[in-house]
Amino acid sequence: MPTPISSHFYRIVLLMVVWFPLCANAQNDREEFRLFPGESYTSMEVTVTWRLEGDSPVDILHFQGPKTEVSTPRCTPPCEAIPPRVVRTVFLDGVAMEYTLDPSPSRSIYFRSYQSPTEVEFDARPDRKMLFVSRAAHLEIGSVKLTVSNEPVEFATGTAYLQISAKDMASEATCVLPLALRAQKSIGRYSIEVVAAYPETKTAKLEIIAEPDFTVQGKEAWITESCSHLGDLETILSYLGENYGFEVEWQLYDNYVESAAKAKRSKVLGVGPETPRRRSSRGSSSNSVEGATIRERIDSYVLDFPVSFEWKTPTLLSVYPMGFKEVLKEQEEQRLQDEKKQKAKELNEAMKKEFEEKYQPILKVYSLKSVTPITAKAIIDQELQYYSLRPTTYQKEWPVGEPSIESIPIAQKDEWFGRASDSTTPNYRMKRIDQVVAEECIADDKANAIIVTAIPETHKKIEELLAKMEGVLEAEQKEKAAPLQLYKVEVALLQSVNKPTSATPEYMEKLNQPIEDLSVDGENITEVMALISEYTGVNINVEAKAISPDVTFKIVQPTPAIEVLRLIADANGLRLDFQPSTVMVRWADGENTALPVDPADYGLKPEDLKQFKVDSVSQLGHSIQSLTNSPDSNGTSTVMLGEEFQCELAFQDFREPYLILNGKLQTRRNSTLIQSTLFLEPDTPSVLAI
């Protein structure tokens, strides 16, 4: 009985010693088996029998198919003379059987059978196939029929071969080629090459290369151009239809005429994967052909608007705008958004018109009679505003809000603007504001007037306010002529210090003891400090130094010991360091440690210090000055506060109960640190600076 090869180990051994060539288009349904003399086996409806005939046994392989039979002498004794591993093939009834002699002493034959078509249709695309033809089974490729002769034919080389004949049944063209390895011929669009010759079985294995068929029209027409650059989808399909023989019909989505127009205007964004390139029999990339059928090319287009393609017939393409449902949804959404945008625009335009009509600034000059410009400005500034137009903004996810006109006193402008006092441009917190109107008042002392830039509504308030102020002053002036007045002003310059925690009340009391009739002439600083320490009972130590200064001073009037220490320190470049139980006299190359003073001595309350974030203060300078109510130099006084600072006070006005002064804190070089209008009440401090 024939024995199919089923052992996995045996199959491995077989592959190691025998080579079976596989055709390129072989199907998965193939079978392997082996025969011993006298056995038969049926594979794929073809029965092969190993016969031994005659007195001197002759090996014959007999192949019986459904329609054809072939008998082939295999070998005559001694069989050992036949070379092993030589592969032969027989082809009949669409089945190719390869077989070879087992080189082992078992004297068996290995077979491999697989199907190979006898009729093959090539479409318009370039193609390459491995096919069989034999005397027992002819081959048809398209309109070309191939057959093998029964007897050898002598060719021009003088050698006789079995002859393969090819005839194009459509054009009546013919050609012949020998059944010999590497024999080649072309007929029509086909190139034929013999890649394996088996004259014993009158069988040949052929490589058929089909060139593109550009005569095919419609959806299977072969195309090698992209055409995506030609424009919209309508232009591209019109061009392809005209050149490749098909028509296009444009379908409607739910009877929307614009759906077809939308599909026609679709743009090709790119071309997707195409048909793999076809190579020649030699495998040379230079002979490769790239392209696709019309159907494949159109299906590969990547469009900005989804459509579907359906070939009603090979020459009729139907285009359906399947993405138009989303288009309608987008259009409705866009319509709603456009309405929101239009509403926001109309609201903003109406509010802008109102803003431009009511809030445009007007510049006016107000001449003053009784009121001074600085006084008028101080009062009018309280009425001035910043006005801004805040439009509504369109947001896709939210309803349209209402635009607004906002205002804020100019004294609070830092909430809208940066710290630059001359800035009128909104900072990053106000980017959504379209327009800003800033009201402003300028005091002109020379012209005895104020210059006001404000909206009409504010000008009305200013006119009423000035009229009231002028009327009151004129009435007072009529009642009595203002006599020359003398005002006594106490000025103190304070600085923030860390509140001491180490000094005790007894310590402070000792430092405040007065010293009387003390005269020192060229004494060493250490000895002087020892003298004051002995007098006050407070430990006073002098920081060691290679050279100590000599001190000269004279105390005539009773002076607190702390003041004497400060006078000595200031005169000799020293500083006082008040420690828990000791006063250290150090050289003035470090940070000054000032002694705190009681804010109540200056009329200040703790809450007055807290608004400046200060816990404790020390005195840098102190003075009492007299001013008159005269606008000339008699009404101006400059106060020296310590060695570094001075304060200039200038009389502006007196409005019961307020003495109105213009105050400046300056350095000795007349650099103004701060300037402000002071409204002084009796026994009530007004803070210019700390």
Helix or strand or coil: residue 38? coil
Question: What tokens appear for 1 in the block?
Answer: 């009985």
Taking each helix axis from N to C terminus, what angle separates 561-571 and 525-536, rounded to the nearest 10 degrees?
170
Other CB atoms closer than 10 Å to residue 668's CB: what's the count? Answer: 11
Give the CATH number of domain 500-595. 3.55.50.30
* pLDDT, tens digit (0-9, with 9 covering 90-100), for 20-51: 343 333 344 789 999 988 899 999 999 999 88
Structural tokens at position 416: 């809208």
> Residue 32: its pLDDT value, please?
93
Interior angle at CA 561, CA 556 and CA 565, nearest 5:
95
Phi and psi (nearest 5°) for 186? -125, 145
| 3-class state of residue 449 by DSSP | strand
- The whole-angstrom separation of Cα 597 and Cα 503 is 13
For the chain, the helix, strand and coil percentages under 3-state DSSP, each to the nearest 5? 25, 40, 35
Residue 603: its pLDDT value, please?
77
Contacts of residue 582, defined as CB under 8 A and 6 or more positions apart, other chains included, come to 538, 539, 540, 541
Return the pLDDT at 672.
81
Query: Which letter does DSSP use for residue 432 in this model?
Result: T
Residue 508: exposed, middle, or buried by beta-carbon count in 10 A (0-12, 13-18, 19+)? middle
User: What is the pLDDT at residue 75?
Assistant: 53
| Dihedrals phi, psi of 586, to nearest 5 degrees | -115, 165
To the nearest 10 degrees (0 to 180), the angle between helices 324-358 and 257-264 is 90
Burial (0-12, 13-18, 19+ Cβ within 10 Å), 251:
middle
Q: Which 3 state secondary structure label does DSSP give 269? A: strand
Which H or E run includes 341?
helix 324-358
Decide: 260 and 321 in contact? Cβ < 8 Å: yes
Nearest to 384 by CA among 460, 421, 450, 438: 438
DSSP state of 382: G
Integer Cα distance of 73 and 53 in angstroms: 10
Kindly give the parts of the chain with pLDDT less than 70.
1-28, 54-58, 73-85, 273-289, 413-432, 473-483, 497-508, 544-547, 588-595, 631-634, 688-690
pLDDT at 149: 94
Distance CA 137, CA 147 (A): 8
pTM: 0.44
Coil/strand/helix, residue 419: coil
Whole-number pLDDT of residue 3: 46
Q: Which pLDDT value is given to residue 49?
A: 92
In whole angstroms, what is the distance from residue 570 CA to residue 564 CA? Answer: 10
Q: Are 388 and 405 in contact (CB under 8 A)?
A: yes
- CA atoms within 13 Å, Cβ hemisphere of 229: 2
Q: Distance (Å, rounded) from C-alpha 248 to C-alpha 261?
A: 14
What's the CA gap between 105 and 107, in Å, rounded? 5
> Residue 589 is encoded by which pair of tokens?
């190359």
Contact by Cβ (8 Å): 258, 323: no
Nearest residue to 137 via CA among 75, 46, 36: 46
**Alpha carbon distances (Å) from 612 to 326, 487, 687:** 64, 28, 10
**Total Cβ atoms within 10 A of residue 186:** 14
Closest alpha carbon to 376 in 363, 386, 361, 366: 366
**What does the pLDDT read at residue 430?**
57
Give the separation between CA 115 and CA 687, rounded to whole angstroms.
111
Q: What is the CA radius of gyration of the chain?
A: 58
Q: Where are the domains of the chain?
A: 3-210, 218-322, 348-479, 486-490+600-680, 500-595
**658-667/174-178 β-pairing:** unpaired
Angle at 129 between CA 128 and CA 132, to 5 degrees: 150
In the numeric block, the tokens 């093998």 are attached to 148
User: Which pLDDT value is given to residue 509?
Assistant: 76
